Structure 1
Amino acid sequence: MDVLSAIQVVGAGVDVLSKLMPNRGNRPQSEFSQVLEQSMGQQLMQRLDLDSSGTLTLNETKMSEKVFRQLDANADGQLSEVEINTGIESMRREAGLHQKMNLWLEAHDANHDGLATQRESGLDTRVFDRGDRNGDGKLDVRELVRMSRLNLE
């Protein structure tokens, strides 16, 4: 199996996880969810670890250097299974957040233009204005995701 196919397999698993097990309210993951994600990281390691070192190099993954550096938490130039699992969890959370914001937008977008005005959103004007990064008087999904992230921090 080539690298792209292996990554697609893991990506499909992340997508399934985000749909089946949304982590509402950032509560701790269930043991079942953790096992599934660890299994995906283990499968990716088995398929891509060409030299059987127990870690993946940039060459083995064939991913962009930018993405690789983001996953490489200890900056040692190698991805461990733990770093891969952490990356999968991060992707799952991000996919779930985007999905939630898309659903919120669908529920509030009265004119179905893919955007929410202050009136459509029902948000306080100050909150809305802080979220409206481009100042167009409307919130898009990216702005909603950003607002949600800031609210979680």
Structure 2
Amino acid sequence: MRQIITRAAFALALFPGAALAQDSLFMQLDANGDGVIDGNEFLQLRISMFDRIDADRSGTITAAEIETARQALPGKRTMQSDKRIWDQDANDDGMLTLAEYTAQTRGFDMADRNNDGVISSAEYNRIARFLAAYRP
């Protein structure tokens, strides 16, 4: 069964580090309800998003599928966002596999300011407010 993911969660997964300040999103990401987002919860989000973006169920994400997914997001995304996406393409074949898509954790690492392996609500809100201030 596919998870229903909010547009804000979609932005977080598609564009590492991108988030919107929404308490309900934090609660959605904190699947076990322990008050923090751990690496596994973030990984599960990334896996769900890969499934959502991979519209043709080929097991890879193409530039066309990313562009289609991007149309569902509010605001415009920059070339830097594209670079971050394609930096994940380890074999440089122009497609992202699930392994490539989930291998990097930049968004998680950016938010985990104290490097304790979890994102607290305060860490999440700090990043969300910062990114919201610079949204186009």
Normalised by the size of structure 1, how large is the TM-score?
A: 0.42
* Structure number with higher helix proportion: 1
Report 1 or 2 for greater relative contact order, CA contacts < 8 Å, sequence distance ≥ 6. Answer: 2
Q: Which has the larger radius of gyration?
A: 1
**Larger strand fraction of residues:** 2
Scaled by the length of structure 2, the TM-score of the pair is 0.46
